[in-house]
Amino acid sequence: MKKCVLYDRACIDCGECDRCDLDPDKICDNCMRCVKGEGDYRAILIDKVEAPEAGQKPN
């Protein structure tokens, strides 16, 4: 069973993850226009990094 990449559920093959963020009527063709340019939404802020304890496998 595949996991949905957008929601916390199993994949139902709805195709929403294949849609363009700028034009929802278009299938994404990886043009990268959605990530080019300026904007706060492109930043990822990391508050803390946790290392696994000794002998524990990372997730």
Q: What is the pTM of this model?
A: 0.51
Encode pLDDT of 7-31 as tens digits. Answer: 999 999 999 999 998 898 999 999 8
Q: Please, what is the average pLDDT of the chain?
A: 84
User: Among 14, 57, 58, which Cα is nearest to 2's?
Assistant: 14
Q: Of the candidates 14, 16, 11, 36, which has an alpha carbon nearest to the alpha carbon of residue 27? A: 16
- The answer, yes or no, to whether residue 44 has pLDDT greater than 70, is yes
